[in-house]
Structure 1
């Protein structure tokens, strides 16, 4: 196992980064903003303890324009365990602004994605806005489409209902 504590963010899943890059590109020229969610890295056999960023959560009601994005904190799910944030800089500057730094208090890692939103157009930062390492891992994540892959028969079986009873 790698050298990290069980709660440390040790990397980001390639699919999560790809999603954020695409969302940033689609939001351009406005800023994009989301929250990062992690899962135990041990579930992905990457040789590390800690957390792997696996999801980018889009918060309903987020307001965005070319110079800022604001998340409505009242819309953040109560059960959501954020490990940080991600947002874009349409001007391509990969340095945090003073406003960015003011929002970095929660979470371990904060990502800024810059125009033109390519694979090398992002940085990971700590709470103080200093660059930090965040390796990208090509891991198999659960397909969100699979969450809805069930039939009425599956529901009946889960509830213990015999189809002939109806």
Structure 2
């Protein structure tokens, strides 16, 4: 459903996390910012009731500097697959700032990555900016081309 109630976010795909850490390293010393998109765990062969983060969407018009990154919120997809945010702190601090916390209320999960952007250089937070667990799953990601694989009947069903 297009505007179904938000499901729990149970984890992040290992390849998605690796991609984001690499993108943050490439953006350093500026902040990196993206929007997290999810796929139902059952669609990925995981026996869990909830979504797994499978995609990082870079929103057109995103601006970044060494101290902040901002995005054009009107360009963020407003659908059930948008489940969080991900950004980097080039200074390596893995705690949300006051500005981060003000943005967190919209989605159920937020990830902060820090220099040097290694596999353990990230933390996840809930809507209130409190630490939360986010398991890493080694799953096969959906084919990106399948994003555009829909028909008018699919659109009508969503509406």
Give the TM-score, by structure 2 length. 0.84
Equivalent pairs counted in the alignment come to: 143
Measured after TM superposition, the shift of residue 147 of structure 1 is 7.3
- Based on CA coordinates, which of the two structures has the bigger radius of gyration? 1
Evaluate the alpha carbon distance shift between residue 147 and residue 41 of structure 1 in structure 2; reply closer, same or farther with a 3 A threshold.
closer
Counterpart in the other structure of 1:72: 72
1:19 matched to 2:19: yes
Alpha-carbon separation, structure 1, partners of 2:132 and 2:49: 17
Q: Structure 2 regions of 5+ residues with no counterpart?
A: 149-159
Measured after TM superposition, the shift of residue 130 of structure 1 is 1.0
1:144 matched to 2:110: no
Q: Secondary structure at the match of 2:17?
A: helix
Greater than 3 Å deviation, 4+ residue runs = 77-81, 145-148
Measured after TM superposition, the shift of residue 145 of structure 1 is 6.2
Alpha-carbon separation, structure 2, partners of 1:104 and 1:79: 17
Alpha-carbon separation, structure 2, partners of 1:50 and 1:77: 19
Q: Secondary structure at the match of 1:84?
A: strand
Measured after TM superposition, the shift of residue 129 of structure 1 is 1.0
Evaluate the alpha carbon distance shift between residue 78 and residue 106 of structure 1 in structure 2; reply closer, same or farther with a 3 A threshold.
closer
Measured after TM superposition, the shift of residue 44 of structure 1 is 1.5
CA contact (8 A) 2:40 2:51 kept: yes
Counterpart in the other structure of 1:100: 100
1:41 matched to 2:77: no
Q: Secondary structure at the match of 2:132?
A: coil
Give the TM-score, by structure 1 length. 0.81
Alpha-carbon separation, structure 2, partners of 1:15 and 1:34: 15
Counterpart in the other structure of 1:31: 31
Measured after TM superposition, the shift of residue 45 of structure 1 is 1.9
CA contact (8 A) 2:39 2:81 kept: no
Higher RCO (C-alpha 8 Å, min separation 6): 2
After superposition, the C-alpha distances for 1:113-144 in whole angstroms (9 at most, x for unaligned) are 00000000000000111111100000001243
Alpha-carbon separation, structure 2, partners of 1:133 and 1:29: 27
After superposition, the C-alpha distances for 1:68-99 in whole angstroms (9 at most, x for unaligned) are 00011122235573111000000000010000
Alpha-carbon separation, structure 2, partners of 1:133 and 1:120: 13
